[in-house]
Structure 1
Amino acid sequence: MNILQLVRRGFPSFRGQRRDEGLTLVETLITAALTGVVLLIVSTMTISALRTVRGVRGTTNSTADARTASQAVTKALRVAVTPDDTTPAFAQATARSVSFYSSMLRGSDVGNVALPIPTLVSYTVDTSRNCLLETKTPGVSGTPPTWPASGTASTCLARGTINIDGTPIFAYFDSSGAVLTPTATGLSVADRGRVASVTVQLAVTPAGDGKTSTARTSVVMVNLGDN
């Protein structure tokens, strides 16, 4: 039964009319109005369903990104090392970015009994790409070793707004557990040499629909000893 038949059945004046009389103006207007209401309801339900799907997808992606990024940062921090006897393991340490030397194995290090040249690893918020950016610069052997920018590779680990509420991403502690508070420019050289553990707190808010996903972990730098 179509809308026109429903209209005719609902109005006594339409009953008994011959089917070959065509549509009256009133019937046409009522049918158009009812059709518009039905289309509005269907479109509203469709838009709501699509928004829900986008929200679920955004939340799923942000959760995976937060977990992946946290694991990557933890893995690199755990093997942080001093590149020589005088240079701190941390080249820079602020509340929202960190750079440090890490004893990460590369393909060329497999089977090599000597300690690998540390890789300079950085994590920072890239506002232009809207992500937590990881950069790795392999060290080149020499006296002293060097880290040429030409060898730097970067990867977006978590896409979205990072710690939208301004919560620090990185918190630093010395071997006694005391907090080392960075200034706007970061920790001083002396304090960078005292860092023994780092707490990483990520909150990834996806673009568009979706909920913020968080990941928090604390890492002790076992290679740094008592600072």
Structure 2
Amino acid sequence: MQHPVQYIPVETPGGEVVGYVWADYAAGTLEWTQRAASGADGYRLGQEWAAKVAETRERGLPLAGALTELARAAGTGPPVDVCGAEAVEELARTVTEADDRRLLAQLDHGNAEAWQELADAYAALTDDDRDVRWGGGEKNANGAIQMAYPLYSRPLWRVVAALWGIGAVTPEHRLSASADPTVPPRGRLRPADAVRAATLLAAGERISEGTVDEAVRSGLFDAMVVALLAWHAAQASAS
């Protein structure tokens, strides 16, 4: 008996799953779902496959035949049976160990000067440095109210700037790909999540002012730096 939904995974040449082509036989649709945690190259390949699926859909092939044809193009095995579209969507949301390894590979462990700068900048921070004040909010002569904006201290921003030097801010983590990392209720932030947090803080601040302030207040800022420095120390001990 044919299952209501079948899918095939699409991978990069290196084996990273970037998304899934799936057929819903009850609805009569052929769809593409991008993996949320795919890297920069995977995202670009996913866009190509989104177009390929759309083109195949427009040709009006029977669903089973279309999926088999795309499976050959992807170089995968036969379609996988699942009970519904929700199962494919859940697969697309899953973050794997390979995703974590890809992010950790962006860290420049060998740049001792950059890591020392992060450690020194963080050690020099005071409570006053962490206290982010806000400017703006005033009404000008035309009656328009200026948008509020954070006033970060130089020592605090020194830490944020140091994240770029160690490679923790990377396009391999797409900000729209997954939920923002949070401080775990127990234990230390995982190193890969620290890279996600660093990218959120340094790159996300350009999109949404106040991102760093929120991270400082929630504890994510400190958890991120501690996790990154601990990872670097562990790598040094292992080498």
Higher relative contact order (CA 8 A, sep 6+): 1
Larger radius of gyration: 1
**Structure (1 or 2) with the greater helix fraction:** 2
Into which bin does the TM-score normalised by the smaller protein fall?
under 0.3
Q: TM-score, normalised by structure 2?
A: 0.22
Q: TM-score, normalised by structure 1?
A: 0.23
**Structure (1 or 2) with the greater strand fraction:** 1
